[in-house]
Amino acid sequence: MLMLTNLATPAPHTPRRRRYYFTLLSWLPTYFVKDLGMDLSQASFMSMVPAMTGFLVSNAAGRFADWLLAGGMPLPTVRKTVQSISMLGSAAAMAGALAAEQPAWVVGLMIAGLTAHPFTLAGLFCTPNDLSSRYAGALLGISNTCGALGAVTGIAACGLLLDATGGSWEAGLYWPLIGVLLAGIYAYVAHCDNNPIDFDARDNSRFEWEDRMRSGLKGLGLPISG
């Protein structure tokens, strides 16, 4: 249970990162068509650009992180640096797009924000292996599950906010995602140190509610394992 509750693990932080990326990627074609007046083919192509540039950016992020490590920067600082580039870069791009008046600038800044996202592959994404090579697979699986929940709820929340605000993209898309990115990088920098954790040595007892549930099931005569 320590993997779920300890703020040093990536599980509590992944939903914020995924909420930004997949919410924006999902709603971008609609935004381009309805707010910027693009046709569907143009909007679809422009929405594909971050995926095409992601390969180059992710490789650059890895090399940049290796360069920082080779220069003697502590591992936790390296992870926080590249993660800050990812999330603060994306937040700055969205803020710039919000202030921009020319559609070309809006499109360029939106794409730039998504293009900065792959820096997270040298930051938060590496955290499971930093914390525990033995449990890296389990940590990454838990983190991705939490991230998927963040993405699903973010996409739905954007639609609900658009309906509630009469189609305001500022209130439905821009400000919520900027807030998510800023909250996410604060939480990661403040709580995730990337120093190894011995999950076998720490107290890994069950949650209090789990013990109550087990007692209730046992009272009903249901088989309990573990």
Is residue 224 in a domain?
Answer: no
Dist CA 82 CA 54 (whole Å): 15
pTM for the whole structure: 0.79
Is residue 93 in a domain?
Answer: yes
Is residue 36 in a domain?
Answer: yes
CATH number at residue 91: 1.20.1250.20
What digits encode the pLDDT tens for the residues 92-120? 999 999 999 899 999 999 999 999 999 99
Count of structural domains within the chain: 1
179 neighbors 49 (Cβ within 8 angstroms): no
What digits encode the pLDDT tens for the residues 148-167? 888 889 999 999 999 999 99
40 neighbors 33 (Cβ within 8 angstroms): yes
Q: Give residue 78's domain range.
A: 2-219
- Pick from 58-67, 107-116, 129-138: least confident: 129-138
Is residue 226 in a domain?
Answer: no
- Can you say whether the dihedral through the CA atoms of 164, 166, 167, 173 is positive or negative? negative
Is residue 225 in a domain?
Answer: no
Is residue 31 in a domain?
Answer: yes
Is residue 52 in a domain?
Answer: yes
Residue 11 above 50 pLDDT? Answer: no
